[in-house]
Structures are given as structure tokens and as C-alpha cells.
Structure 1
């Protein structure tokens, strides 16, 4: 089997004009692949820790490459475990989660390419995970919170087409997005269609419910569900006020998806939401759980959630992200694989979502090149099946 012969790291700009890492990994059979890593803005405090870019690049060249050179790329668990052991911390803070993840993604990609398989199919094989239907697109059409320069407290307003046909879903999202832009201009002027970090429109509005009204109007007769990512750890509002908003959203707009409704440490508050809304709403942990199986165990014991966000850069290796999905399925939770607000054109996350059989892929609005890359990869995967 092919062995790692070289790794070259460099810095590139991400979608927020911040520096991030790109690696090129070489195998002794002539295969070479590239991988780059995203970063979040509203990070959970328990996420794996990234190093500054220059330090991460140095660590790849001086520590990671000498450790991995000559190892078979197919043994992902061994490779990722070596990276974890080499780092020696419980949060990847010595070598940097960005350095470790870039190499981890590249190794998966190289192994798939050397086998002449699309990476989603390769991940499906090595993970042993089964899908429960097609992966649906969760599209963030209105941005707020830390992702936009407006007055909205809620960070993401999502539309989720009900169809399991990925081409139909992408077309529906595109049409709603264009309709929404027209409505925003008519009601609030041209500036209302300025976009946030994830490509969604970023209008300033009178309250946190209006975005759902606008999206519902733009959707017309399309069959969709609505959702939000509150990212409530960044909201200066009482639990009682937040819960009042969520009740209104569920009542008025049949809210289907509710992510991070309360502070990342408030497991009991998540439980209250789950008890009140029951199975009608997917109460989802992101900052609460940070793709970390120990945090997931706590959430399970508290009966806090019935859905989870999976972000490989929260934990630092592809293998650990796969284990988090496996554990989520063991718990009976919905799984939504997500991009980050500071993205690159790397489309690995689309392959990962399909490969692990995720219920949803949260990839932003159909705007900005780094988001479109994920849409187009999902469309291509649909052709490869």
C-alpha cells in the first residue's frame, strides 16, 4: 500500500481574509493531494485549539512529517492516533488542531485517490456508517449574530427542502434565495441584500422572528422546513426571553430545527427545550457538544438534545469526527455535518457528510465561492452514486 513520502504546508487566505493552512501530501506511488482547513467565529470553548498559522506550518514540517513519513496512508486510525500522541494534549493545543486536521483530511483524500474511489464512498466503507435517506441541505439564507454586521441576535436562519433529491433541493434553495433577495430589496432597500460570512442576506430588522416570515414568503409553495442556529452563548438575553422567542417560532412557523438555543454549559436548559418541543423539533448541540464524545456523553446523560452538529475542526482529526457520528447514531440522534464561517474552497465536508450518512449538510447560502464549492460537490456526488 502507498506510503507517505512528503508533506508541504503553506498559508492561504480563507473567506474572511484570515490566514489558514493548506497542505499538499505526497505518496510514494505518485499520488498527491491538497487539503485546507476552515475556522469558526463563534467557537465553542471546548473545541480543539488551533495554532497560529506560522507555528502550525512549522509543526507540520518539523514534527508531523518526520513522524508520518514512510507510514501507510491507508491505516487512518494509526495515522490519526500518531498525530494525537505526538501532540500530547487533550485539545490539540501543542501542534494545533488546524495542523493536525489538514494532514488528517489529506491522508483520507490520498488513500481514496490511490484506490480510485471518491472520498465519500471511501469514508462510507471505513466508517461502516449507514445512511437513513439522502443527506439534506441546510441552507443559511439570513445571517445574524457574529456572522453579520446587523442587529439580529440569531446567527442563522435556515431553509431545509423536504425533498431527498439533491438537485431539486439545490434548485429550490436557489429560487428561494433569489426570491428572498427581491423581497428584501422591496421592503428594506438595496443594502438589505448585503451578505454575511456564510452568504446569507444580512438585513437589520425589527425583531428576531421577521427573518422566518421573509423566508416563508420567499418559499411560496415549495415544501420546506425552517430552522435556526441561535448560537446562544453569544446572546445577552435571559433563558426565559430566549424560550419565549423559540415558542413563538415553533407556533407561528412550525420551526423544525433549533441549534444551540442556550449557553454551551446549560445542559438542563437544552433538556427543557427538548421536553417542551418533543420530537417535533430537532434540538441540536453544537457549542454544547463540539464533536467531542465526552461532551456528547454528558448531553446524553442529561437528555439535552436529539440532534448534533459534527465539525471535524472542532475535534481535530477525521477519525475522531467519524467516532462522534458513530456515537451519535448509537444515541439515536440526528446528525448534521457543518462547514464553518471562515471557509476555503476545499469541499471535503460535502464528501464527509455523505460518507457518514448525515441527515443534513449545513453549507451556507448558494452564494460566495467557498459555499458554492460545497453545493457543487454535493451535486457531483449525486451523479457518482
Structure 2
């Protein structure tokens, strides 16, 4: 594979939350074009969420470094970007600038090699396993920082079983979403939409939200835990206060083991498939305990725990703190 960049530029766009982000465009000499956008950084514009500094880095320093050079692989391009930045966390050029360029180059190269992006990524990762579309995960109810302050947990998920086609699973999720709205209206609950597209109802407890999901699944003639599974993003950092976990479902704060027992009871009742960030990011002993207890039956996802940080990932593996990681570029 050979990739020689002809044109590289970036501009500011707005994402679905009206927050500025970067869109980078990479055009190879053969005309293949990749376009990619990433989350924003910080500046004094747009209430501290502008990205013009990072855009300037792409349009000047990064473009001057990359244009006209014949690279043999995407890895060479990424290594060039990392060395050009020169910091451990890409803080000089901006991680958003570096990632936007890397992603747009990946898309352009995939087009140039006449491969779908997913096959190109699998090829450079030397993945020879059969490829398939993952099961869709629907973020149906929002709480925590993504909601209206009514629920403690950040996301309540619905995950259709992939025994049938992806399109069938997508339809199942869409009909359950509409059914949830009807149930909330029937209960006299608020059915406004939260920060990530799920409903942000004024329910009393986290258990109430799981009950609404279960009711919606059953109304569509599906079986909870079999046809359609449930998941939670607890985002436990937000409920960890002075070394204990504070949730509306309990009248007093819970010690780590008490909170783990609470989550075990939820899993027994609702047959969870995914449990993301069930404990605070530095509660390592608790993470090891909950994974050893529940990891055989569900996916314990480390997001805030690991933050795609190589050192934290190494520690997570060594301590068997979780059995899955959420990778963010």
C-alpha cells in the first residue's frame, strides 16, 4: 500500500448538540478522499468549546508535514503525527486534530485500495476472523449527566438478540423505543429526550427505569433476557461520594460490597447483558470483585475506569478488573 497526500484541510462544524467539532478532509494524489469528524477540544469560543486552534494546526503544521510524502502504511502516518506532536497525550497539536487527520487518512486509503473501511481496518489489524455486524445497542433512557437529574445511572440499554438479521434487530429496537414513549405518557411521566437521544423521564428510582424497559419489551411480545437483553452504563464516578455510592434506590449511602450486592440483585432480576462502569474509576478492588462475581454471565465494561489509557489498561488486565473495554480514539 502506498499513500501520497495531495490536500489536507480542516474546518469547524457543529455536532448534534450544537458543540463545535473538527471535520478534516484528506485527498490523495489519486483523488481518493476521506472525511472525518471528532469530538471538540476547548477554547474561549462557544462557551469554551471551540476548535479553531486545533484546526489551525491541521491546516498549517500537520499539512506541511504530511503533504507530498509517500507513506507505506497508516501506521507510518500515525507515527509521524505522534512524533510531530511530541507530547505523551497529544496536547501540543490537540488529540482532536491528530485523530481527525488519522481517521480521514484511513478512509482515503481504504477508498484508494478499493476496500470498505471495515475490511481495511481488519486487514491492517491482521484480523483473519469472520467479520459480522455487531448487535445494535439502544440507549433508551438517559440519567446521570445525560439526563435531567432524575435518575442516577447514565444510560439504560436495550440489546436485541442477533439470532435474526441486523435489520430485524434494528426494527425491534425502534419499536421498543416508541413503546417506551407510550408507556411514559400512560404513566403521566415526562417523555422529553435527554442528551444522547434516550428519554429523560421523571421516574423515582433506577429500578423504575428498568421496569419501563421490561414493560416495553413485553408489550412487543418479546422475552426479557432472551429475545431482548438489558444493559446499564452506571457511570459510577457520578454517584461516588466520600468513598460510598449514593443512589435513589437506597435511603443511605452504600459501601462498595453493598453496592455490588445491589448490582448482583439487579442482574438476577433483569438478566443484564452489559454493565458499564459499575464502580468508581479508582475502586480497583471493587472492580476485581464484581468482575469475578458477574463476569462469567455478563460483559463488565471499563470506560471511565480505563479511559483508553495504556497504563490503566495494563493495570486492568493485571487485576482482572473487567472483561471488556470501550475504546475511544
TM-score by length of 1: 0.74
Deviations 1:282-311 (A, max 9, x none): 111001112233211100111111111112
**Structure 1 unaligned runs (5+)?**
41-49, 313-385
User: Where do 5+ consecutive residues of structure 2 fail to align?
Assistant: 42-47, 246-254
Deviation at 1:71, TM superposition (A): 2.5
3-state DSSP of counterpart to 1:158: strand
Q: How many residues align?
A: 301
> 2: CA distance between counterparts of 1:176 and 1:245?
26
Q: Which residue of 2 aligns with 1:146?
A: 145
Q: TM-score, normalised by structure 2?
A: 0.86
Largest Rg, 1 or 2: 2
Structure 1 stretches of 4+ with a deviation exceeding 6 A read none
- CA RMSD, Structure 1 to Structure 2 (Å): 2.0
Cα drift, residue 244 of structure 1? 4.3
Within 5 Å, give how 1:119-138 maps onto structure 2: 119-129=117-127, 130=129, 134-138=133-137
Q: How is 1:326-365 mapped onto 2 (pairs within 5 angstroms)?
A: none
Distance 1:74 1:178, change over 3 A: farther
SS in 1 for 2:90: coil
Q: Any conservation in 1 of the 2:146–2:196 contact (CA below 8 Å)?
A: yes
1:84-124 CA-partner distances (Å, limit 9, x unpaired): 11111111111111101100100000001112221111111
**Residues 208-357 of structure 1 mapped to structure 2, 5 A cutoff:** 208-220=206-218, 221-222=221-222, 223-237=227-241, 238-239=244-245, 240=255, 242-312=259-329
TM superposition shift of 1:52: 5.0
Q: Which residue of structure 2 lines up, in the alignment, with residue 187 of structure 1?
A: 187
Whether 2:134 is the aligned partner of 1:117: answer no
CA distance in 2 between counterparts of 1:51 and 1:205 reads: 32
Give the Cα–Cα distance (whole angstroms) in 2 for the partners of residues 203 and 74 of structure 1. Answer: 52
Structure showing the higher helix proportion among its residues: 1
Q: Is the 8 A contact 1:51 1:97 kept in 2?
A: no
Contact 1:51 1:98 (C-alpha < 8 Å) held by counterparts: no
Q: 1:132 to 1:116 in 2, by over 3 A?
A: closer
Question: What is the Cα deviation at residue 133 of structure 1?
Answer: 5.8
Distance 1:131 1:93, change over 3 A: farther
* CA distance in 2 between partners of 1:23 and 1:76 (Å): 16
The answer (yes or no) to whether the contact 2:240–2:280 under 8 Å persists in 1 is no
8 Å CA contact 1:76, 1:107 repeated in 2: yes
* Residues 128-147 of structure 1 deviation map (CA, whole Å, 9 limit, x = unaligned): 22358641111110011111
CA distance in structure 2 between the aligned counterparts of 1:250 and 1:34, rounded to whole angstroms: 41
Q: Secondary structure at the match of 2:87?
A: coil
Given that residues 147 and 196 in structure 1 are in contact (C-alpha distance below 8 angstroms), is that contact kept between their aligned partners in structure 2? yes
